[in-house]
Amino acid sequence: MPGRQLRIDEYRIEQEPYYLPTGDELAIADAAYHDGSPLLLKGPTGCGKTRFMQYLAWRLQRPLVTVSCHDDLSTSDLVGRYLIRAGEAVWTDGPLTMAVRAGAICYLDEIVEARKDTTVVIHPLADDRRQLPIEKRGELLTAPAEFMLAVSYNPGYQSVLKDLKASTRQRFIALSFDYPDPEREMEIVCREGRLGMEIAKPLVKLAAMTRGLKDSGLAEGASTRLLIQTGKLIGRGIPIKTACRAAISEALTDDRELLAAMDEMISSLF
């Protein structure tokens, strides 16, 4: 945790982020926001969840405070702690507290990675009470109407054990994300990867083929994000096949057979 006080203004999104809707996710999220309900975004990595939150925050004109959860994340990391400054204990809000006070959107990315005792702190915030207890200060914050809590998780590679508890997940309005359909994915890859359709099209095909390798033991196929990264390499002059290997195959696996299978796919398309 940095020793510096976070400032909410740093979390405002001034420019409209590019987001191509893939269904009714915006209408549902808007309704959840106005009802004061928290959001649960589920879906594989790199399919647009973070971009969606950035767009939503911009649309609602709220700052977006994102926290990437990990198994070392403590309640203090979220809520805040006393720090010693010039010999004095000074309270410093954590990102969650800062978001509640400011009526911002707090996005806890990969929530299932966080320790159970850490996620408990969001329970009273996620239900009708919309409160955040700050135990160390004996303070109970009530979230303003503008505050929204959003969490994400990837149902693909979380074990059953790590799955969200029913009591937690039943508080949320859930949005299911997946890779965009080929037409939309091509549009996104062209724009974000700065590519022409003649390359974006086979790249999207390649992604679909790698997603089919799940049955052969590949944990996850190429995400939209990986296609964009491939496009950027190509844009910098890296030959297409080399770019596909570096940004897709090698990024996805170390398994020789899977790498060989992906090499064949790449050669069949380019």
- 180 makes contact with ligand ADP (CB under 6 A): yes
* Least distance between ligand ADP and beta carbon 256 (Å): 27
φ, ψ for residue 159 (rounded to 5)? -70, 160
Residue whose Cβ sits closest to ligand ADP: 48
The dihedral built from the CA positions of residue 4, 57, 28 and 223, taken in this order, carries a sign that is: negative
Question: Of 1, 12, 26, 45, which lies in the binding site for ligand ADP, with binding defined by CB under 6 A?
Answer: 45
Select from 8-16, 19-27, 156-164, 168-176 the region that touches ligand ADP (CB under 6 A): 19-27
**232 neighbors 246 (Cβ within 8 angstroms):** no
Q: Specify the stretch interacting with ligand ADP by CB under 6 A; choose among 17-25, 94-102, 122-130, 210-218.
A: 17-25
Residue 225 near ligand ADP by CB under 6 A: yes
Of 1, 8, 12, 20, the residue at the interface with ligand ADP (CB under 6 A) is 20
Smallest gap, in angstroms, from Cβ of residue 55 to ligand ADP?
8
The interface with ligand ADP within residues 234-253 (CB under 6 A) comprises none
From residue 227, alpha-carbon distances to 195, 200, 219, 233, 262 in Å are: 10, 8, 17, 10, 14
Answer yes or no whether residue 51 interacts with ligand ADP by CB under 6 A: yes
Q: Which residues of 106-121 are buried (b: 16+ CB within 10 A; e: fewer)?
A: bbbbbbbbbeeebbeb
In this structure, which amino acid lies at residue 49?
K
Nearer to ligand ADP, 48 or 63 (CB): 48
Contact flag: residue 97 with ligand ADP (CB under 6 A): no
22 binds ligand ADP, rule: CB under 6 A:
yes
Q: Which of residues 183-212 bind ligand ADP (CB under 6 A)?
A: 188, 192
CA-to-CA distance for 81 and 240, rounded, in angstroms? 49
Give the shortest CB-151-to-ligand ADP separation in angstroms: 12
The amino acid sitting at 111 is: I
Give the separation between CA 162 and CA 113, rounded to whole angstroms: 8
Q: For residue 151, how many other CB atoms are within 10 A of its CB? A: 26
Q: Which residues bind ligand ADP (CB under 6 A)?
A: 18-20, 22, 45-51, 180, 188, 192, 224-225, 228
